[in-house]
Amino acid sequence: MVEKSTNPLKGGIYHQVQNSKFKIQSLRSLWQESESLKKKLGELEREKAELKIENSKLKIDNQAMRRLLQAPLPPEWRFLAAGVIGRTRYLTIDKGRREGVKKGMVVVFENVLVGRVTQVSEKAAKIILPNDSESKIEVEIRAGERESGRVRGALVGEDGRLVLTEVLQGERIEVDDLVVTSGGEEIFPPNLLIGKVVKIEKEERQPYQKAEVEPLVDYDRLETVFLIIE
């Protein structure tokens, strides 16, 4: 008799336990679905952000290309656009052997010299800048509105600065004169702008005068550059 009287109670408890288990499983399932949706939402947000960055970069590349096409460069030159992805001693770009980049290629922004390729990997390359301590470029100094003959010198990097050297004391150079590649060493093509004279140092006992040159582009702010493919 006792067994029979307790069966309904046991049955009720059993159903309550089963209902509780079902509710817990349902809540767990809902939580898992919620977490899955959160993960998918996060992925969509990341994709959206990446697409925004890519569109922004594409816009910058297009603007830079339009300015490049307006620059006074030889019409037969061809260019490969590259994005700057690193700034240490060298500029690192996102193009390498896979895209046909080779050591020694000249790099410009519009008609301003940025440097030349010094290291190449499969997917990237490094560019040595004119202000690097190992850089030396044969240059010409272009006077402003005054009449001047051809003044030549060398542009070297010293402590991150551009320094004009090997200009004879008798030559006339002035602040705001432009410094361009001469093409003499056959490494860089001629007439690429590099910078302008901002300070002149003369010592009468020395055979050469020196000048500090300010680059015409901010190397640290470059986002897109162009490799010359001749």
So what's the pLDDT on residue 2? 46
Domain 74-130+220-229 in CATH 2.40.10.340: yes
Window from 32-36, 99-103, 132-136, 161-165 with minimum mean pLDDT: 32-36
Mean pLDDT, all residues of the chain: 82
- In tens, the pLDDT along 43-62 reads 777 766 555 555 555 444 55
Q: What is the CATH number of domain 136-216?
A: 2.40.10.350
Question: Looking at the predicted structure, is the pLDDT value of residue 215 above 60?
Answer: yes
Collect all residues with Cβ–Cβ distance below 8 Å to 165 and sequence separation of at least 6: 153, 154, 155, 156, 208, 210
So what's the pLDDT on residue 1? 47
So what's the pLDDT on residue 142? 87
Query: How are beta strands 151-158 and 161-168 bridged, if at all?
Result: antiparallel
Output the CA–CA distances (angstroms, integers) from residue 210 to 10, 70, 113, 149, in the order listed. Answer: 102, 33, 21, 18
Window from 27-31, 54-58, 138-142 with minimum mean pLDDT: 54-58
**Cα separation of 167 and 161, whole Å?**
17
**Got the DSSP string for 38-80?**
HHHHHHHHHHHHHHHHHHHHHHHHHHHHHHHHHS---TT-EEE
Question: Looking at the predicted structure, is the pLDDT value of residue 205 above 90?
Answer: no
Question: Looking at the predicted structure, is the pLDDT value of residue 188 above 70?
Answer: yes
For the purposes of burial, counting CB atoms within 10 Å of the CB of 45, is it exposed (0-12), middle (13-18) or buried (19 or more)? exposed
Closest by Cα among 134, 115, 117 to 195: 115
Q: For residue 222, what are its two tokens? A: 């470059």
Tell me the whole-structure pTM to 2 decimals: 0.69
So what's the pLDDT on residue 113? 96
Output the CA–CA distances (angstroms, integers) from residue 71 to 19, 65, 143, 206, in the order listed. Answer: 77, 10, 20, 38
